[in-house]
Amino acid sequence: MSMSPEQAEIDVKDLYGDPSRFLISDLCRILEDYMNVEQVRDVYQAYLFGAQAHEGQFRQTGEPYIYHPIAVARILAEMHMDSKSICAAILHDVIEDTPVTKKMVADKFGNDVAELVDGVSKLTELKFKNKKEQQAINIQKVLMAMARDIRVILIKLADRLHNMRTLGIMRIEKRRRIAQETLDIYVPLARRLGVNTLRLELEDLGFRAIYPMRYRILEHTMQQQAGHRKEIIQKIDNGLTTRLADLGIKGGVSARRKHPYSLYKKMREKSLPYQSIFDVYGMRVLVDSVDNCYRVLGAVHNLFKPIPGKFKDYIAIPKENGYQSLHTVLFGPHAIPIEVQIRTKQMNDF
């Protein structure tokens, strides 16, 4: 699969002019931001191979099957995964669903890509007879043990995410079963690997599929509240940013909104009404050291009055899962409570 960079560049650009290949064109544009020309060309070759293998196959949505693996590859591309992972994502169903063999993949794309594709196929084949069997065997540990390369798990998570995005076409019983499996198995896997972008979307999609009415009510309420909180959050943001500069602390301040599933889970676990949740909207401050976390905490409490009993020091005493951060709730402008989380960048990547 070698050719001159000049020829590869021409081929990649030529594919943009073909309207029938807009999905792979869009993917290649993303890849060009962090891959060289030959790597992008390899991905395009994987697309041609996969499209031929899946020719005549369609999803339940009625779309050509190749749309799905391209979408999975795009999810991973947005995470800046390497070219072999992207190739494997495009080919992840060829061994399971087409006459293509592992050897054929290896001959065309190399052993690394073949191993990744085969690994995803083996995870897909893993079945448990019933829920008791799932509970008896720690399926998360089984999956991690089976995947000798962590990229296999990441491809599988991206595969599940795209399947969840297109879940609406299925019967309601199957939709709920897949959604529950996602919350029970794939969400904890994503949390364990620290891929929070995937985890949060998987959680919300699972919640929406199982409890559509509860999801809609929460989402509507949160959107209504967002309008009232926008000005207040901006004032706190400006105050914190100025104070960080005054203290000579390098850090970033950002607003954040709790995701619907996370909010629903907190309301259920603590038996709290929506009005009693103070961290639906809040601020997050990222700094470069633990010492600066506490310095920022002092500055925050000088800017706005803290609500008594709402301070949590998860740096000194981390949560059971290892999570670390300082949490405090302030009386913001107009006495509206706003949570502020303060942590290091390393803690945020947890």
**What's the average model confidence in pLDDT over 308-314?**
94
- Last residue in a domain, options 188, 212, 236: 212
The pLDDT value given to residue 131? 56
- pLDDT tens, residue by residue, 33-58: 999 999 999 999 999 999 999 999 99
| Contacts with 338 (C-beta within 8 Å, 6 or more apart), sequence order | 229, 232, 233, 236, 278, 281, 282, 283, 304, 329, 330, 332
Q: Does 233 share its domain with 315?
A: yes
* pLDDT > 60? residue 4: no
Q: Does 303 share its domain with 176?
A: no
Q: Does 34 share its domain with 134?
A: yes
CATH number at residue 266: 3.30.460.10
Q: Does 240 share its domain with 158?
A: no
**What's the average model confidence in pLDDT over 8-15?**
46
Q: Does 80 share its domain with 110?
A: yes
Active site residues: 96-97
- pLDDT tens, residue by residue, 166-222: 998 899 999 999 999 999 889 988 988 889 899 999 999 999 999 999 999 999 888
Q: What is the pTM of this model?
A: 0.80
70 within 8 A of 27, measured Cβ to Cβ? yes
- pLDDT tens, residue by residue, 95-136: 999 999 999 999 999 999 999 999 999 888 776 555 555 553
341 lies in which domain range? 217-348
Top-confidence residue, 89 or 262: 89
Q: Does 179 share its domain with 241?
A: no
Distance CA 123, CA 129 (A): 15
Which is nearest to 315 in space by CA: 298, 305, 327?
A: 327
* pLDDT > 90? residue 237: no
- Last residue in a domain, options 177, 197, 212: 212
Distance CA 72, CA 93 (A): 11
The pLDDT value given to residue 16? 46
Q: How many Cβ atoms are within 10 Å of 305's Cβ, its own excluded?
A: 11
- Last residue in a domain, options 148, 182, 212: 212
Q: Does 242 share its domain with 285?
A: yes
Report how many domains make up the chain: 2
CA gyration radius, the chain: 23
CATH number at residue 166: 1.10.3210.10
Q: Does 276 share its domain with 127?
A: no
Q: Which residues lie across from 329 on neighbouring strands?
A: 339
Q: Does 62 share its domain with 199?
A: yes
User: 282-296: b or e for each residue (b if 16 or more CB lie within 10 Å)?
Assistant: bbbbbbeebebbbbb
User: 235-247: b or e for each residue (b if 16 or more CB lie within 10 Å)?
Assistant: ebeebbeebbeee
Which is nearest to 75 in space by CA: 26, 114, 38, 42?
A: 26
